[in-house]
Structure 1
Amino acid sequence: MIGGMEHLPSTEAAVTALRALADVHEREMEVTHDIGADRTSRRTAAGVGVTVDPDGSLPHEAHVEFGGLPRVRVRLYPDDDALIDVEGVECHDIPRDEVPGFLRSVFGGLAYVRARRFPPGYFLIVPLPGDRAHKEFLPLIALTPWLSAHVR
């Protein structure tokens, strides 16, 4: 489902949803996969040569990079969450099911930077389905040309 909230039961389902989103927004997309407890970033305690989780499953992590502006990278973790980097601003712990909605807002021009006068600061605001928004603080020195062009 491209329009609303979808349930993405696996990393591969999330990658498929992101491919559809890239097609809609005419963006190139590059994907790399890390499969196995010895290859995924959150399984460092798995031990040498251990590739499966205790339940026998193979954890699957994907790294997605989109072409164009804004620069967007997504790391889909096997634990049903993601790290989304928009122009160097890292948005941690985004539920995997919310990743497509988050990116639709970014690619669709709904995301913006809010300036605060006192104390001075900037926040990346990404509207999400259901009248919610993700808000991420960013330091002044992190304002790229794309972020600066979207300050309100």
Structure 2
Amino acid sequence: MDHPPLPSTESAVTAVREIADAYGLTMTVAHDIGADQTSRRSSAALFKATDPDGSLPHEAFVDLAGRPTVSVRLYPDDDALITVDGVEFHDVPRDQVPAFLRSVYSGLAHVKARRFPPGYRLIIPLPGDETYRERVPALTLTPWLSSILRA
């Protein structure tokens, strides 16, 4: 299913809100607006809210309550950091955030166990050929991660 691109942080927040509603999740959102407020704009001039090109960067942090615990930091640079039960997925394109969350909440996400070398990976498949994989340290295997473990 094709979705329109998410041209702004606010449109991505709206898409996440629709997913939260669809899965009966509560969410909280914190917005940081301005070059002096966003996390990736440390080089911004003091007391300057706009970027050198005159744009006003907008970053949002979304926390989704439920199982698994999920948070999404939407950056003004068209990407996101998604944390699923403590496992961080860096540089997820903003346009893929809704599909990523649907995969997590619809039961497609799973943990793959490896025998040698021993370890675990959280795998989030998206429609098409896109799949996100991140290592899960054995000591941080939560009850939810354990419940989606595949040998």
TM-score (norm 2): 0.97
Spell out structure 1 runs of 4+ moving beyond 6 A. none
* CA–CA distance in structure 1, aligned partners of residues 100 and 145 of structure 2: 16
Q: Take 2:104 and 2:77, find their aligned partners in 1: how far apart are those partners?
A: 23
The corresponding residue for 2:30 is 32
- CA distance in structure 2 between the aligned counterparts of 1:48 and 1:117, rounded to whole angstroms: 52
Q: Which residue of 2 aligns with 1:108?
A: 106
Q: Secondary structure at the match of 1:73?
A: strand
Q: Deviations over 1:87-123 (max 9, x none)?
A: 0000000000000000000011110000000000100
One-letter amino acid matched to 1:121: G
- Structure 1 residues 49-88: aligned runs within 5 Å: 49-88=47-86
Q: Distance in 2 between matches of 1:94 and 1:85?
A: 11
Matched, 1:147 2:145: yes
Instruction: Find 1:133's aligned residue among 120, 131, 134.
Output: 131
- Unaligned segments of structure 1, at least 5 residues: none
% identical equivalent positions: 63
Q: Secondary structure at the match of 2:53?
A: coil
1:132 and 1:53 map into 2 onto residues whose CA distance is 32
Task: Describe the SS at the equivalent of 2:101.
Answer: helix
Please tell me whether residue 89 in structure 1 is matched to residue 87 in structure 2: yes
Provide the C-alpha distance between the structure 1 equivalents of 2:13 and 2:78, rounded to a whole number of angstroms.
Answer: 13
| Length, aligned pairs only | 150
1-structure distance, mates of 2:98, 2:107: 14
